Amino acid sequence: MSLFFIVALPFFGALLPGLMNAAGRSATAGITFTVSLAAFIGLLTNLPTVLAGDVVMARVDWMPVLGLNFTLMLDGLGFFFALLILGIGLLIIAYGRHYLSREDNMGQFFTYLLLFQGAMVGIVLSDNILLLLIFWELTSLSSFLLIGYWKHLPEGRQGARMALTVTGMGGLAMIGGMLILGQIVGSYDLSVILQNRDLIQADPLYVPALILILLGCFTKSAQFPFHFWLPHAMAAPTPVSAYLHSATMVKAGIFLMARMWPVLSGTTEWVVIVTTAGLITMVIGAVIALYKHDLKALLAFSTVSHLGLITMLLGTGTAFGAMAAMFHILNHATFKAALFMSAGIIDHEAHTRDIRRLGGLRKLMPITFVIATIAALSMAGIPFLNGFLSKEMMLEEATHTTLFGIPWLVPALATFGSLFSAAYCFRLIGHVFFGPVRGDYPAKPHDPPAGLWLPPSILVVLVVVIGVAPFLAEPFVKLVTASVLGDVADVPKAYFKIWHGLVPALFMSVAAVIGGLVLLAVFNPALRLWDAAPRPDAKVIFEAIVESVAKAAQAVILPLHNGAFSRYAAIGAVAIIAAGYHAWSTGTVGPATREMQAAGPVAIAGWAMLAAATVGLVFMHRNRLLSLILIGIVGLMVSIGFVFFSAPDLAMTQFTVEVVTIILLLLALNFLPKTTPVESTVLRRVRDTAVAIAGGLATFGLAYHYLLRDAVTTPISEFHLANSYKGGGGTNVVNVILVDFRGFDTYGEIIVLGIAALLIYALTETLLSGPVRARLLNRLPDQPRAGDMHPMMMVVLTRVIMPVVLMVGFYIFLRGHNEPGGGFIAGLIVSIGVVMQYMASGFSWASARLKYPYHGVIGAGVLVAGLTGIGSWFVGKPFLTSDFTYVRIPPFEKFELATAALFDVGVFLAVVGAVMLSLESFSRLARRAHTPDTDHPMDIDPSRDLAPEGAGSAKEGV
């Protein structure tokens, strides 16, 4: 299967669990399992190629200019991790089906899980480091969702936030490191970067890049001092902990260190930083784990410790260390996932994870006991289990590692860590399963159904098989190691076997196990000592830092952002004017190239009316109805100006829009106060006047200079004029631009218009379902109502006019391609025609006769326009390519048929729908507020009033 499918399957599959949610829990889990299984099988189909030592590549250029390409690569290392992610993922899905309760939203859970799975697979298969970074961030985000899955638990939310903060910041650092790396090499492809070890290590920016990348790896893999987030992430449901925090996500940092091993390792900086961090993490994690009473916390710190171990092995920079690391990743994934699942089973059945409240489960939960014990013994490093083998290799490597010039430091600390590691494993077995059966468990523990214990037992079988017959795993681990090492070193010859002879590692191992047993024997005094010792609590420190950062941000933002819109507007206006002034005073103005045209008396009269109306509006704006009239005059003058300056289409649009805007504002003024009180101080008005005059002068200067000069480069308008008829089949160039040349823009604009109308509708719905509804019902009109709200004259007139208006709209629409007109204007005209019916006979009368809801009209318009555009795909042309032809049907004259006209139908419908939906929403508010509307077209109807009682309604709707 192509690598693209393997990565894409979980992402696309993530849509399915949500859809299947209604079909039941088994169906949801089943579909998730199927998706994962398909990806898993797809991965396995590539096994022969990988086993042959080849690298599978898949490449699509995405943004070649930025060096960001969708390049995937599958080699031994990638295959190993992908196998872990998908394989353990399958077990986790099966386990999760039985773990989650009925109250949990399973579709949501599996959607998150598949998103995470896809992101993880993406990381390990990426060949491009920028692509890798994208997947890296995706794992942080999806793990945030998974950790916080139980939204009702504050621990879950806090843990999720902490994990996201820490790994997110690490991710930011890593972006910096990766960009530096890409700059050094000149390519963002991993396969190229991995070839340039000498170039990278010689570069002065090597150390910053190394530190930044390691920051990303350490935060993700919970290395000291960033280890604190992992235990808090344990608030997640156990399947998540088992999957993310033992087998996969925390290994992402380790994966990246392994991936970058050929180019980054081997230098002193690498050895010192990585080995030290790993060693400290290993020891601290193991020590803390021993004293944790929560089973999952114990396992979490043990995971931290083991991740430290693997990091340390990678840090030594030797081929043997890398091999041991790879082997331990495999072993850790098997026994730790099994342990997490066992902890989940205990939690699920006994309703507690507190070790102090458990004990004696050996007799009550025999199956769980066997699974958990084998896995824990493997973790402790007992022979014939896989943990023993890799731990031996680790100790062997430790004896050869010197840090800070002290030869005994690393072996001693490694033994110390192993000792504690053995101790907490023994504690887990001893304190949970052995001891007397108690009578005070929160719930009666018993073994779970097979769905819960089968997945971990499969892993435990692996633990034993690898432990007894390590030669089975050897070729695979060596294959993976080979791809980690690249060309830098050869795969070590050492064989995987249980008995190496009396080597130092064996003595260290024996010392650790015996020491672990001794420590468990003196556990209670040790615990008292530990509890008495002061320790920093990472969560408190973290919360304090977050709190102080939030406080600092508030201290900056709140004074600036004080909710005073008029202040923002003033600052914005002044800033823009200042920027313009700066440009004006530093730039140069070219000489005027155009003659000023003479202005006739008509133009001057129009100008004077516009100026007078604007000035009047400013001075009389407190009388709101008057200001509406004045702004109508302004709009009218602007429309006439458009006619005067050769823009008939614009004039028609402006004029019709003016009508609907005024109706809209009148509807709003029905509720708003009719006057504006005097509130601002004189000083403030002077200030605002100054800002306004400055702004006005600025735009005047700009427009004036602009109008007297020609464009610096030739405008593209000539092209439109020349091709309008030839290419678009229409002589009205403006309309051809709208529906043809720039049809895609228009398409976007009708969608925006539709969204605006839907927004208004949604706001109305919200208002009418909230407290405003009651307020509207109780509202008394603040002005006297007309006695005859639906006067007969108006009803009759609008009915008579309606067909005429529709005809005019139709005519305007049809002629639009060749004469001024078109979909926009026709839509507005028809809307006005319909609005008149509302005005004459009232909302309920009109809406009772409404056949098509306006949402549908908007949708139909967008759909018609979109389908017209798609139609051109069928003839192999790009979206919205238009075509036209001339036909002649006797007895008519020859006329034109253009696909652009179909597109214009879409525009027309969208405009009608949007305008009507907005106005209708406003009147719905009014409908709530007043006395019930009648169902009759007019209030006083002589024919109805003369008719006998009860027969009047028969006339309704005539």
Partner 1 sequence: MELLVASAIGILTAGGLYLVLRLRTFPVIMGISLLTYAVNVFLFASGRLTVGAPPVLRDSMESYADPLPQALVLTAIVISFGMTAVVVMIALGAYLGSDDDHVDDQPQDDTQAEGRS
Render 96-121 in DSSP notation, one character per residue.
Answer: HHHHS-TTS-HHHHHHHHHHHHHHHH
Looking only at residues 541 through 580 of this chain, which bind partner 1 when binding is defined by CB under 8 A? 562-567, 569-570, 573
3-state SS class at 631: helix
Piece of 291-299, 484-492, 493-501, 738-746 that binds partner 1 (CB under 8 A): 738-746
- Binding status of residue 11 toward partner 1 by CB under 8 A: no
Among 130, 753, 864, 880, which residue sits at the site for partner 1 (rule: CB under 8 A)?
Answer: 753
- Binding status of residue 626 toward partner 1 by CB under 8 A: no
**Cα separations in angstroms, 339 against 241, 287, 430:** 11, 19, 15
275 burial level (CB within 10 Å; 0-12, 13-18, 19+)? buried
- Could you tell me how many residues of this chain bind partner 1 (CB under 8 A)? 118
Looking only at residues 924 through 943 of this chain, which bind partner 1 when binding is defined by CB under 8 A? 925
Which two three-digit tokens encode residue 831? 């809307």
- Binding status of residue 882 toward partner 1 by CB under 8 A: no
Q: Are 760 and 916 in contact (CB under 8 A)?
A: no
24 burial level (CB within 10 Å; 0-12, 13-18, 19+)? exposed
- Shortest approach of partner 1 to residue 908 CB, angstroms? 12
Nearer to partner 1, 402 or 670 (CB): 670
Nearer to partner 1, 541 or 672 (CB): 672
Among 539, 742, 924, 944, which residue sits at the site for partner 1 (rule: CB under 8 A)?
Answer: 742
Looking only at residues 679 through 718 of this chain, which bind partner 1 when binding is defined by CB under 8 A? 679-680, 688-689, 691-693, 695-704, 706-708, 710, 715-717
Q: How many CB atoms lie within 10 A of CB 587?
A: 8
Among 364, 610, 795, 829, which residue sits at the site for partner 1 (rule: CB under 8 A)?
Answer: 610
DSSP β-ladder status, 56-63 and 68-74: antiparallel
Nearer to partner 1, 540 or 596 (CB): 596
Piece of 45-53, 472-480, 629-637, 782-790 that binds partner 1 (CB under 8 A): 629-637
DSSP β-ladder status, 56-63 and 895-898: unpaired
Looking only at residues 833 through 852 of this chain, which bind partner 1 when binding is defined by CB under 8 A? none
Q: Are 163 and 99 in contact (CB under 8 A)?
A: no
- Shortest approach of partner 1 to residue 724 CB, angstroms? 6
Nearer to partner 1, 137 or 749 (CB): 749
Piece of 103-111, 525-533, 665-673, 801-809 that binds partner 1 (CB under 8 A): 665-673
3-state SS class at 65: helix
How many whole angstroms separate alpha carbon 880 and alpha carbon 149?
A: 44
Among 596, 683, 712, 951, which residue sits at the site for partner 1 (rule: CB under 8 A)?
Answer: 596
DSSP β-ladder status, 884-887 and 895-898: antiparallel
Q: What is the 3-state secondary structure (H, E, C) of 816-883?
A: CCCCCCCHHHHHHHHHHHHHHHHHHHCHHHHHHCCCCCHHHHHHHHHHHHHHHHHHHHHHCCCCCCCC
- Shortest approach of partner 1 to residue 583 CB, angstroms? 16
Q: Are 139 and 252 in contact (CB under 8 A)?
A: yes
Among 495, 645, 873, 895, which residue sits at the site for partner 1 (rule: CB under 8 A)?
Answer: 645
Looking only at residues 390 through 419 of this chain, which bind partner 1 when binding is defined by CB under 8 A? none
- Shortest approach of partner 1 to residue 607 CB, angstroms? 5
Nearer to partner 1, 443 or 763 (CB): 763
Piece of 211-219, 758-766, 841-849, 868-876 that binds partner 1 (CB under 8 A): 758-766
- Shortest approach of partner 1 to residue 819 CB, angstroms? 6
Piece of 48-56, 288-296, 517-525, 650-658 that binds partner 1 (CB under 8 A): 650-658
3-state SS class at 813: helix
- Binding status of residue 605 toward partner 1 by CB under 8 A: no
- Binding status of residue 862 toward partner 1 by CB under 8 A: no
Nearer to partner 1, 692 or 870 (CB): 692
- Shortest approach of partner 1 to residue 310 CB, angstroms? 47
- Shortest approach of partner 1 to residue 926 CB, angstroms? 11
Q: Are 854 and 917 in contact (CB under 8 A)?
A: yes
How many whole angstroms separate alpha carbon 621 and alpha carbon 679?
A: 13
Q: Are 428 and 372 in contact (CB under 8 A)?
A: yes
How many whole angstroms separate alpha carbon 257 and alpha carbon 165?
A: 21
Q: Mask: binding to partner 1, 891-920, rule CB under 8 A, as x and -?
A: --------------------x--xx--x--
- Shortest approach of partner 1 to residue 910 CB, angstroms? 10
Which two three-digit tokens encode residue 510? 């024996």
434 burial level (CB within 10 Å; 0-12, 13-18, 19+)? middle
Q: State which amino acid sits at residue 482.
A: A
Q: Virtual CA dihedral for 833, 835, 837, 838, nearest 10 degrees?
A: 180
- Shortest approach of partner 1 to residue 707 CB, angstroms? 4
- Shortest approach of partner 1 to residue 556 CB, angstroms? 15
Q: Are 132 and 51 in contact (CB under 8 A)?
A: no
How many whole angstroms separate alpha carbon 120 and alpha carbon 135?
A: 7
Q: Are 806 and 812 in contact (CB under 8 A)?
A: no
- Shortest approach of partner 1 to residue 151 CB, angstroms? 23
Nearer to partner 1, 526 or 647 (CB): 647
List, in order, residues 6 or more apart from 894 with CB less than 8 Å away: 886, 887, 888
Which two three-digit tokens encode residue 38? 């398909």
- Binding status of residue 855 toward partner 1 by CB under 8 A: no
Which two three-digit tokens encode residue 721? 């004029």
How many whole angstroms separate alpha carbon 287 and alpha carbon 281?
A: 10
Q: Report, in angstroms and rounded to the nearest whole number, the Rg of the chain calculated over CA atoms.
A: 38
Among 4, 5, 671, 811, which residue sits at the site for partner 1 (rule: CB under 8 A)?
Answer: 671
Among 19, 611, 686, 958, which residue sits at the site for partner 1 (rule: CB under 8 A)?
Answer: 611
Nearer to partner 1, 57 or 569 (CB): 569
Looking only at residues 768 through 827 of this chain, which bind partner 1 when binding is defined by CB under 8 A? 770-772, 775-776, 818-820, 824
612 burial level (CB within 10 Å; 0-12, 13-18, 19+)? middle
- Binding status of residue 669 toward partner 1 by CB under 8 A: yes
Among 137, 269, 543, 749, which residue sits at the site for partner 1 (rule: CB under 8 A)?
Answer: 749
Q: Virtual CA dihedral for 418, 424, 425, 428, nearest 10 degrees?
A: 180
Among 168, 383, 492, 641, which residue sits at the site for partner 1 (rule: CB under 8 A)?
Answer: 641
Closest by CA position to 318, among listed 274, 363, 365: 274
Nearer to partner 1, 181 or 610 (CB): 610
How many whole angstroms separate alpha carbon 368 and alpha carbon 349?
A: 11
How many whole angstroms separate alpha carbon 868 and alpha carbon 251?
A: 51
Nearer to partner 1, 55 or 814 (CB): 814
Cα 939 off chain centre by: 55
Nearer to partner 1, 930 or 944 (CB): 930
Among 88, 273, 760, 839, which residue sits at the site for partner 1 (rule: CB under 8 A)?
Answer: 760
Nearer to partner 1, 579 or 759 (CB): 759
Nearer to partner 1, 529 or 759 (CB): 759
- Shortest approach of partner 1 to residue 780 CB, angstroms? 14
- Shortest approach of partner 1 to residue 29 CB, angstroms? 43
Among 25, 720, 790, 936, which residue sits at the site for partner 1 (rule: CB under 8 A)?
Answer: 720
Looking only at residues 98 through 117 of this chain, which bind partner 1 when binding is defined by CB under 8 A? none
Piece of 234-242, 281-289, 633-641, 801-809 that binds partner 1 (CB under 8 A): 633-641
